Amino acid sequence: DVLQKCGYPTDVVVLDYETYYSDIYTLSKLSTIEYIQSPEFEELGLARLLMQGDAPFADPQQNCLFETDPDTFLEWLKSIYGPDLSGCTVVMQNAKFDGSILAFRHGIHPKYVIDTKGLASHIHPHESAHLFDLCLRYGLPPKGKTDHRGFTRRVRYIKGTGRKAKTVPTRQPLLTLEKEQLLGEYACADALREWELFTLMLPQLSRPKVELALMQHTLEMFWNPVIRVDTALGEQLRKDMLNEVEKALAVTGRDRDSISGNHSFSTLLQDALAETREKVPTKLGKKGLIPALAKT
């Protein structure tokens, strides 16, 4: 009902990616975009749950599968719902991650996305929006646990760290069918929890038309960046600016280091203003009056 009122398709597709990670190459040490754009990136599989309009009361568990060939599956999905999947509502947990994989790795920008993490952040703004905590909060089966660090189908070598840094790199074992099955079960369990959370949280939105539109807009800014930063030019501009600062300071007999401190700069400025009987302007800070200055 909520989807219909908001103009969203009532066919729902839950997607949940499983990807390669290691002690070094991990989202705890890299930003989402760095992780996804890295040459180390590898899709291990994709849990998908299709809740289609022609079978609205189908058993979600029977509809949930683990795709070990995401490319082929996504082509099939596009053949049904269109190149931008505009014929379905895509549900994800942390859509900035999974949606970025679709956008930057597959060129797919879903038109209608609902992020369960985003729903949770709106409904429970002061609580954790992690899937593990959401399952506890809503009385759902607990999120599974699996350490698939190092799971890969590529030929990879591990470099030693610490005392072993100078040792010969060792080859990582390839993903076995047994481990692949465990990974698939873990991913499908997550997708099922995401579907359940979606059905529980979506009706709680007080203004779904507004909130879902804001969610989509926010996600699309992440997937379709319109600003690119020229870091090399930025660094050159920084150097040029510092050179200009040094030139301006040279006539005063000072250098940049001597004016870098808040106290030292304020003292120097007060001495200079004393010649015209002026004082350094002040404003109220956390510990009383402080100089009201923009040093740069």
Q: What is the pLDDT of residues 92-125, one digit of tens each?
A: 999 999 999 999 999 999 999 999 999 999 999 9
Work out the burial of residue 279: count CB atoms within 10 Å of its CB; fewer than 13 is exposed, 13-18 middle, 19 or more buried.
exposed
Mean pLDDT of 72-79: 96
Q: What is the pLDDT of residue 177?
A: 93
Q: What is the pLDDT of residue 266?
A: 86
Are residues 151 and 183 in contact, defined by beta-carbon separation less than 8 angstroms?
yes
Mean pLDDT of 192-196: 96
Are residues 18 and 187 in contact, defined by beta-carbon separation less than 8 angstroms?
yes
Residue type (1 letter), 191: A
Mean pLDDT of 16-39: 93
Which single residue is written with the structure tokens 């999905």?
Answer: 77
pLDDT tens per residue across span 76-89: 999 999 999 999 99
- When mean pLDDT is compared across 182-191, 234-243, 276-285, the lowest value belongs to 276-285
The yes-or-no verdict on residue 219 having pLDDT over 70 is yes
In sign, the C-alpha dihedral spanning 244, 250, 251, 252 is positive
Are residues 96 and 118 in contact, defined by beta-carbon separation less than 8 angstroms?
no
- Please give the mean pLDDT across all residues of the chain: 91
Joined tokens for residue 197 = 């959370």
The yes-or-no verdict on residue 241 having pLDDT over 80 is yes
C-alpha 170/C-alpha 275 separation (Å) is: 71
**CB neighbours of 44 closer than 8 A, spacing ≥ 6?**
18, 19, 20, 68, 148, 151, 152, 153, 175, 180, 183
Share of the chain above pLDDT 70, in %: 95
